[in-house]
C-alpha cells in the first residue's frame, strides 16, 4: 500500500475547491495517506490552508498542447476531471464548448495513455444529466438512451464514451458521474442555464432580489454541494469491477419543482425571503431547461453506496450550515 498522489483539474471551481479542502482536512483517501496534491485550472487555484504536504497550483488550459502531458507527468493515482465550460456558455460559444469539454477531455485521456509503463490511474469524470434528451419517461434509468439536446450535453456524452473506451482498453480505471444540478451553489451567479435554481434561494437568503426565468411548475433533479463532494470521494475509491462496463452512473438526487423549492425557502428562512423572488420569463433558459430530465431511477448508484438528500429543506439547511456565514462576510466586504 503506497501513499496517494492526487490531481484535481478544475480545482478553482466550486466543486474543485471544496474537494481540495476536504481532502486536505482528511489527509487520506481510501485509507491511504495523501502525500501530494496537484491543482490545475484556467484561473489560479488555491492550495487549501489545511494542506501540509507537497502541493502545486497551476494555471493551465487543459485543451492547450502539452498541458495534459505535464499534468500527468507526476503519475497521479487519482485524477478528478472537473474542468468544463458550463451549459449556458457552451450553448452560446460553440467553439469554446467543444474545445474545453471535448478536446480537453481527449487531451487528458491521451496523455494518460501515452505515459505507458503499466500506469493506470483512477479517473473520476464529472458528467451531467444533460446527456439525456426529451421525451423522457417519468424516471430516467441509467440505460436510457443518451440523445442530448444541447451542445453541453453532447460534449459530456462524448466524454462518457471516451471514458468507457479508454477504461475498456486498460489505459485507466474510469468512473463517470452524472451529477444532479448542485444547489444551493455559493458565490455569484454563473453562466450555467441551471444557475437560477440556486439564485432564487441564495439571493433571498441574503436579502437580495432574485429573478425566476421559468414557470414554478418546472421540475428538476438536485443535490447539495456537500453531497456532490461525497460522490466524488466515493467514486475515487470504489471497486471498479462492481461498476461493470457501463462506466458512468446517474447519481441519486432529489426531484423537486421550483414551487417546492420556494415552499422550502418559506419554511426554513421565512416569507420575507420569498417576496424577493421576481418572475421574469426568459424563453432561451426555459427552452434549455425543458429538454432536461426531471427525475431519475438511480438504483445502480444507490446499490454502489451513493446517497442524496431526501427533502429540499435539507438542501437549504446544508447551505445555511456550510456557506451562509462565509458568504455574508464576502458580501459585506464587496464595494457598494
- Rounded Cα–Cα distance for residues 259 and 261 (Å): 5
- The answer to whether position 264 is within a domain reads no
Query: Are 174 and 164 spatial neighbours (Cβ–Cβ below 8 Å)?
Result: yes
Residue 51: per-residue pLDDT = 96
Residue 129: which domain range? 4-179+224-250
Query: Are 122 and 77 spatial neighbours (Cβ–Cβ below 8 Å)?
Result: yes
Residue 336: per-residue pLDDT = 45
Query: Are 256 and 216 spatial neighbours (Cβ–Cβ below 8 Å)?
Result: no
Strands 32-41 and 54-59 turn out to be: parallel
Please write the tens of the pLDDT for every residue from 118-150: 999 999 999 999 899 889 999 999 889 999 988
- The answer to whether position 83 is within a domain reads yes
- The answer to whether position 93 is within a domain reads yes
Which residues, 6 or more positions from 57, have their beta carbon under 8 angstroms from its beta carbon? 11, 39, 40, 44, 45, 46, 47
Query: Are 121 and 172 spatial neighbours (Cβ–Cβ below 8 Å)?
Result: yes
- Please determine, for residue 325, whether its predicted confidence score (pLDDT) is greater than 90: no
Q: How remote is the C-alpha of 259 from its chain's centroid?
A: 24
Catalytic hit among 98, 119, 152, 166 = 152
101-133: buried (b, 16+ CB within 10 Å) or exposed (e) per residue? bbebbbbbbebbeebeeeeebbbbbbbbbbbbb
Which residues, 6 or more positions from 258, have their beta carbon under 8 angstroms from its beta carbon? 197, 200, 212, 214, 215, 216, 217, 218, 219, 220
**Neighbour-count burial of 163, counting CB atoms closer than 10 A to its CB (0-12 exposed, 13-18 middle, 19+ buried):** buried
Looking at residues 16-20, what average pLDDT do you find? 97
Percent share of the chain, pLDDT over 90: 85
Please write the tens of the pLDDT for every residue from 175-195: 999 999 999 999 877 777 889
For the chain, how many structural domains are there in total?
A: 1
Percent share of the chain, pLDDT over 70: 97
At 72, the pLDDT band (50, 70, 90 cuts) reads very high
- Rounded Cα–Cα distance for residues 57 and 202 (Å): 30
Q: How remote is the C-alpha of 197 from its chain's centroid?
A: 15
Active site residue 152: yes
- The answer to whether position 199 is within a domain reads no
- The answer to whether position 27 is within a domain reads yes
- Rounded Cα–Cα distance for residues 79 and 19 (Å): 12
Domain of 44, CATH number, reads 3.40.50.720
Lowest mean pLDDT among 64-68, 151-155, 330-334: 330-334
- Rounded Cα–Cα distance for residues 280 and 215 (Å): 9
- The answer to whether position 94 is within a domain reads yes
- The answer to whether position 29 is within a domain reads yes
- The answer to whether position 300 is within a domain reads no
Residue 334: per-residue pLDDT = 56
Amino acid at each position: 500500500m503506497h501513499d496517494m498522489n492526487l490531481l484535481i483539474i478544475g480545482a478553482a471551481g466550486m466543486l474543485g475547491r471544496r474537494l481540495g479542502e476536504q481532502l486536505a482536512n482528511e489527509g487520506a483517501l481510501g485509507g491511504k495517506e495523501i502525500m501530494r496534491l496537484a491543482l490545475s485550472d484556467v484561473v489560479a487555484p488555491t492550495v487549501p490552508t489545511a494542506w501540509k504536504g507537497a502541493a502545486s497550483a497551476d494555471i493551465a488550459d487543459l485543451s492547450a498542447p502539452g498541458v495534459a502531458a505535464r499534468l500527468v507527468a507526476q503519475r497521479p493515482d487519482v485524477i478528478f476531471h472537473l474542468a468544463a465550460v458550463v451549459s449556458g456558455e457552451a450553448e452560446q460559444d460553440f467553439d469554446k464548448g467543444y474545445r474545453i469539454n471535448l478536446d480537453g477531455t481527449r487531451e487528458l485521456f491521451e496523455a494518460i495513455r501515452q505515459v505507458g509503463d503499466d500506469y493506470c490511474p483512477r479517473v473520476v469524470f464529472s458528467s451531467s444529466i444533460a446527456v439525456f434528451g426529451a421525451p423522457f419517461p417519468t424516471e430516467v434509468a441509467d440505460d436510457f438512451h443518451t440523445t442530448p439536446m444541447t451542445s453541453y450535453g453532447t460534449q459530456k456524452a462524448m466524454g462518457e464514451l471516451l471514458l468507457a473506451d479508454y477504461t475498456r482498453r486498460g489505459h485507466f480505471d474510469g468512473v463517470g458521474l452524472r451529477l444532479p444540478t448542485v444547489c444551493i451553489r455559493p458565490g455569484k451567479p454563473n453562466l450555467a442555464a441551471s444557475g437560477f435554481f440556486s439564485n432564487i434561494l441564495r439571493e433571498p437568503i441574503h436579502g437580495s432580489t432574485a429573478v425566476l426565468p421559468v414557470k414554478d411548475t418546472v421540475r428538476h433533479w438536485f443535490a447539495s454541494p456537500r453531497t456532490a463532494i461525497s460522490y466524488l470521494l466515493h467514486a475515487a475509491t470504489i471497486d471498479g469491477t462492481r461498476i461493470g462496463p457501463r462506466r458512468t452512473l446517474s447519481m441519486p438526487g432529489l426531484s423537486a419543482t421550483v414551487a417546492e423549492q420556494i415552499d422550502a425557502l418559506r419554511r426554513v428562512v421565512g416569507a420575507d425571503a420569498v417576496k424577493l423572488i421576481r418572475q421574469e420569463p426568459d424563453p432561451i433558459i426555459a427552452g434549455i431547461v425543458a429538454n432536461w430530465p426531471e427525475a431519475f431511477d438511480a438504483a445502480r448508484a444507490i446499490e454502489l453506496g451513493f446517497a442524496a438528500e431526501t427533502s429540499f429543506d435539507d438542501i437549504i439547511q446544508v447551505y445555511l450550515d456550510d456557506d451562509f456565514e462565509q458568504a455574508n462576510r464576502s458580501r459585506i466586504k464587496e464595494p457598494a
